[in-house]
Every structure is written in structure tokens, then in C-alpha cells.
Structure 1
């Protein structure tokens, strides 16, 4: 088998995903095109050398419809012979794109692939692709009370693991502090690229002055008369402050075989060590990273203690806290440069954003192994183990 390696990872800064956000005036196709061009330029490649582009995007309607990956390749000026596809694994879409790309390299189907993703939540609001849809008869039969949104799942997790409002807000404030410190130390500089015509050099959502006291004044975001009646035992502690904000952004990772990298004179930065993807309870929904991590560790023949850093997507503070409790993970190794609560969660791009953060941290710290996992809509999760080279 071939060895699949990561040669480069780039991303845009993250903009607030609302009208007036720094990236709201940029079409998602153009955001994607910018990171795609940058990957080629930074590595001295011609577009015709790329075997495929695999792109994540969750809300594939409006500006993100009609195979946004192919549109982005064309907008980037790539040769028309370069194919591209858009995939939806919900929040893990670009992590799954990286899996598919690396697995294709390992199987010998590809030499060079670009995986990544985009989401412009200011232009294509969260839930846009669900508008007008109704659950099927079969789904209603299996779940007669209906499925729930992710905020409710985050509340259920907080209740099940006994996470208090203070626990959640303390974690959220720490995420902002870690992210602000990482930016201040220049740790993101090598991977974050400015967007032409946009005055944004750092992630727009990081608030260095966030405190637990400030977060404590926010109201629960998901309690309604309907949800309170359905889940009467919940204490309702998930707020906008301990959740990831709506954001815009794009990211990409250059993946190739180790042999191809050597032939091109490019330095591999990390290799893919193991992969996993699982389904889990669609009501609890966001617990998927727990079994996904267990599966990927089993496949790698490793224990959690052998992993030097973990990137667990902070869709809500309750997710990484429950994950760390179940895996007996070292809190000091969890999202050391901050997570999505501070850095944002531009859905389709988050998987490769986390991957870039993980590679950067392993390099900066001299550590060897990193694990990435993400909760996903519908009760799924991806997990990846990489090894710094």
C-alpha cells in the first residue's frame, strides 16, 4: 500500500457568519477558489497535476449549490480536466473529504488530491438545505417523537454527564483564551491566508477578554415551550456563549503519496495513521466522537495516552467535556490552540481547519501523534490519527 501524507494545509481567517461579517461579501465559490490557488502556488504545482478535488459543504443550496467544488475549481483557474466533487457528512464533511482523499492515495487510485471545504453561513444560513423537507413515513415510524436539533442534543449530553453551567462556561472562556494566546504567538500565521479585498487578518470570532462572569449572563439558547415540554428534566444550560458561533470560511489540505512527494521534492509534514467513521444515537447525536475515538484507537493499536494532542470539535462545550470524561483524556492535550467556540465552525470547512491546527500544533510542540474527531448531524462522527514526520 502507498502511504498518504499531508504536504500543506491552508485556510482563510474565519469571519462572522451573518450579514456584515468580514467575509459575508465574498461568494463561497471565490473563498474556495482562493485557498485552492494558494495550495498550488505555495507548493509549485500545476493544476493539471491534481487528480481530484474533494470538497465538504453542508448547506448545498443557493450560492453553495450545483457542486460547489467543481465551480470552485473552475473559478480558481484550474485546468478544465481537473474533476471535483462535493460531499456532505454534516459538520465532518471536510474531515471526510480528507479521509476519502487519503484512502484513495493509499489504494493507488490517486497520486495528488486536494481535500477541503467551505461554508458561508452569512450567505447560506444554517438549515437552508432543510427548508421545505418533511420526514419520511419510515423515519416517523422509527422516531415517532421526531428527531431534535443539535442544541437539544448538547443539552442532553450536559444533563447525562452532569455538566453544570459553570463547567460549560469555564470551558468556553478557556477556548477563547487559548485561541487568543495562539494568535498572539503567531502560531496560526503559516496556515492562515488573507482574502483579497477583505480587511481581516485574524479570526473574527476570538474574544480574548471572555470571562465566565460575562458568559454567565447569557440566556439558554434552545429552551422553548415545546422543547421544555418534551424534555422536562433538562436544566437548560447551553447558550450562545458556550456554543460555536456561525461563521464563514474555507480550508484545504494537500494530500499525496509519499513517493510522489519525494519525486516532486516536497516535504511531507504528517502521514495518515488510522481512520474511523461511526453512526450513533441520532437523538443524543453529538456523542459520536466517543465510539469513533475508541474505534480509531483500536485500529491503530494505540491507547489515548499515546496521543500527544486531540482536536475535538467544539460544536458545544458539552461535547469535548463528555468526550474527555469517557476517554479519560488529558485536558491539557485537548484543543490546545482553542477550538470552535472561539475559532468558529464554518461547517463544511471545519474538518480541514481542525486538521491544519493539529498539524501545526504537532510541529510547534515537537509531538508525534495527533487525533481529530468531530460530532456530526444525524448522530455520526469521524476520527483520524496522524503522525508528524
Structure 2
């Protein structure tokens, strides 16, 4: 929209993501830093911003172990051919890591510390045995914490939410089918073209589409799947997000720098926040985060044109829908992580990339993004499209 921008106003000038690959799929032999490097390089090449003009690289990564250890933001910049003078920092806020990376980039620019920042994230779950829950990386929680709080697994927390909100298994499966149907429709209509960066694989081939989207699903097929986390539970592989590989990123800078580089500001962050919730149910963060960020921004639910609520599990989305009551036609309109996949540290930047591109395609003004995070956290961002 037409908004007056002060010179130091942080703006998003570009956003891009890789396709999301299935665990053990096309990207399984990639190194995470090499995958993120393709995103960082593309953002500079697409905008014409010289690499040496980047003041910092902020990258989210949830499982900073193995090949993803050692400050992958810095490593990816080096792999991408950025000058040695360009620093990098890696952050983790579990599933919200790359959303937090964008929050940090916005704050760094707003405070005057930086003028141009690359922000995003990466996760190669094919290479990390799924994440920090793997036992070979050590104990998940100290005994004194487990004695005081149950500290459930993600799956058990999703079951607790389904139980507390009385979410029917059939409804959760319907949300899963909806996610796949919307993602398939977006693929077929070419709605993802502006946000997708085809990835060059180690064998020289190119991956240009999300691998996890399934077609032809039916309620009957999903009903035949066994629960994963409880024998009598409601959470199955079908109504959970997919373990995946991927990277995404955004280029932020001051409005003054955008004018200097001749770039059109595409969007800005209207508001950002993170909340904490009870870790014994852990994944309810998007509910209070949505309410608080709307209050902070001075907006109502009706003011929001698009919502991206991460589909870590269908019960997370189901509880959020039950509490907030939004127009479902505005929610996860190109499918969510159940269909596309959830490479933990990159999903936040993917959701924001989709918001920026889809607000432009539809001519909307405000998009709201929220994610649940391990340990009992909820991230939220309101993105405003700019003309």
C-alpha cells in the first residue's frame, strides 16, 4: 500500500525459498550451508545488491548439530562467495528460528546497527536424524526440569491439544486433506513461481517443486492410518507436518538504501513479538501470540487479509481456528506444512516469503504469521504490503 517511509524504516525488498524436499528425497545429499548459500546468493543476484554491501547475515537453524553446527550463517556466506568482511550469526528459537532471524534483522536495521541484512534459515532434516530430539545428541532436558514439568514430546503435546479442544480425528484429517489440496492447486496454477528458487543438486540436476504434496487423498485412506504417539490417539503421520529439507531467505534494508539501489520496497514488518506458554502443552503459542500482536498493531482479525499459521500438527491449527474464529478462506491459502513439509529452521522464512508474494498477487495489505515452538513459545509477525 502507499505508505510514507522514513529513511531508516526497514523494508523487505525480496524474498525467496527453495522447494521443500522430502526427508531422504532429492536434497538428502546436500550440505545445509550449500543449500542456504544458494538462497543468499540468489537474493543478491535477483536484486543487484553487491555482496559486499550486506552488513550481516542472520540465519535460523533449529538443530545446530553435525553439519548444521558451527555458525551455519557464516559458513553459508563463505560458500556463497561473500567477502570475508560479511559476518554471520545463527539463531535458534526451535520451529520459529528463521522467523526470529527476520525479527532480528528488522530490529538491527531499525536500531541503526545495520543498513542491509540477509535473513532466513535452513534445515536439512535428512542429515540431522530429525532434530534435537535424537538421543545421540544427548539428554533432551535435565532431570530437575522433567521432575517439575512433564516436558512432553511434540507429538504428545499435539495429542494433549486435540484432547483439550475436543478436536475430532476426522476434522484433523480434513485439515490435512485441505492442506494438500490447496498446495496442489497452487502448484498447478503457478502461484508459487515468484517465490520458488530451483535448487541445483550435487548431481547437477535441478529440483523446482515441493516434493511432499500428495494428490488423491481421501478421508477413507487417512482414517486407515494408525496414531503415532498414543495407541488411542488422534495424531497420525497424515495430519502431522512432514520431516523435510529446505531453506528460505529475505533481503531487508533501510528505505534509504532501497532508493539508493533502485529497489521497490515490497513489504515491511508492522509488528513482531514472541510469547511463552505452558511447556506441558507447549504448542498453543499461536493463540495468545495472535491476540497480542493484533492488539499491539491496533488491528482486528477482520483487518488481516491472509494468515499463515504453521501446520506443525493439524491440532495446532484446529485449536487456533476454534479460539480465534477467522475466515478459513484466508488461512494457509497455498497449503501448509502438512502438505509442503516443515524443515524446522527454515519454515518461518518460507511462511513469510509466501505472505509477501501472496499479498502482492491478491492485492492484500496485511498478513499475519504465527508458529508454535518447542519448549512453549509462540512467534507472531504482521507483514504489511507496500506499493
Coarse TM-score class (shorter-chain normalised): over 0.9
- Cα RMSD after superposing both structures: 1.3
2:189 aligns with 185
Partner secondary structure for residue 55 of structure 1: strand
Give the Å deviation of 1:198. Answer: 3.3
2:48 aligns with 44
Give the Å deviation of 1:217. Answer: 1.1
| Between 192-201 and 79-88, the greater mean CA deviation after superposition | 192-201
CA deviation profile, 1:172-222 (whole Å, cap 9, x unmatched): 001000000011111111111111123422100001222222111111011
Partner secondary structure for residue 42 of structure 1: helix
**2-structure distance, mates of 1:198, 1:174:** 31
What is the aligned length? 375
1:17 aligns with 23
8 Å CA contact 1:61, 1:129 repeated in 2: no
Task: Map 1:61-210 to 2 at 5 A.
Answer: 61-128=65-132, 131-133=137-139, 135-143=141-149, 146-196=150-200, 197-210=204-217
Partner secondary structure for residue 320 of structure 1: helix
**1-structure distance, mates of 2:131, 2:74:** 23
| Between 342-351 and 207-216, the greater mean CA deviation after superposition | 207-216
| Between 363-372 and 122-131, the greater mean CA deviation after superposition | 122-131
Structure 1 runs not aligned, ≥5 long: 225-234
8 Å CA contact 2:125, 2:131 repeated in 1: no
**2-structure distance, mates of 1:133, 1:110:** 38
Give the Å deviation of 1:142. Answer: 2.3
1:5 aligns with 11
**1-structure distance, mates of 2:198, 2:147:** 49
**2-structure distance, mates of 1:258, 1:383:** 23
Partner secondary structure for residue 238 of structure 2: coil
**1-structure distance, mates of 2:303, 2:132:** 41
8 Å CA contact 2:106, 2:269 repeated in 1: yes
8 Å CA contact 1:23, 1:198 repeated in 2: no
8 Å CA contact 1:3, 1:257 repeated in 2: yes
Is 1:333 the equivalent of 2:330? yes
8 Å CA contact 1:154, 1:318 repeated in 2: yes
Is 1:355 the equivalent of 2:362? no
**1-structure distance, mates of 2:318, 2:139:** 33
Give the Å deviation of 1:138. Answer: 3.8
Partner secondary structure for residue 264 of structure 2: coil
2:3 aligns with none
**1-structure distance, mates of 2:127, 2:141:** 26
**2-structure distance, mates of 1:111, 1:308:** 29
CA deviation profile, 1:273-329 (whole Å, cap 9, x unmatched): 001101101111110011111111111011111101100000001111111211121
Change (3 A) 1:51 1:317: same
8 Å CA contact 2:58, 2:73 repeated in 1: yes
**2-structure distance, mates of 1:179, 1:27:** 27
| Between 327-336 and 306-315, the greater mean CA deviation after superposition | 327-336
Moved beyond 4 Å, runs of 4+: none
Partner secondary structure for residue 8 of structure 1: strand
Structure 2 runs not aligned, ≥5 long: 1-5
Partner secondary structure for residue 370 of structure 1: strand
1:212 aligns with 219
1:223 aligns with 230
2:271 aligns with 274
Is 1:314 the equivalent of 2:314? no
Partner secondary structure for residue 153 of structure 1: helix
Give the Å deviation of 1:128. Answer: 4.2
**1-structure distance, mates of 2:384, 2:65:** 36
Partner secondary structure for residue 125 of structure 1: coil
Give the Å deviation of 1:137. Answer: 4.7
Partner secondary structure for residue 294 of structure 2: helix
TM-score scaled by structure 2?
0.94
| Between 84-93 and 185-194, the greater mean CA deviation after superposition | 185-194
Partner secondary structure for residue 10 of structure 1: strand
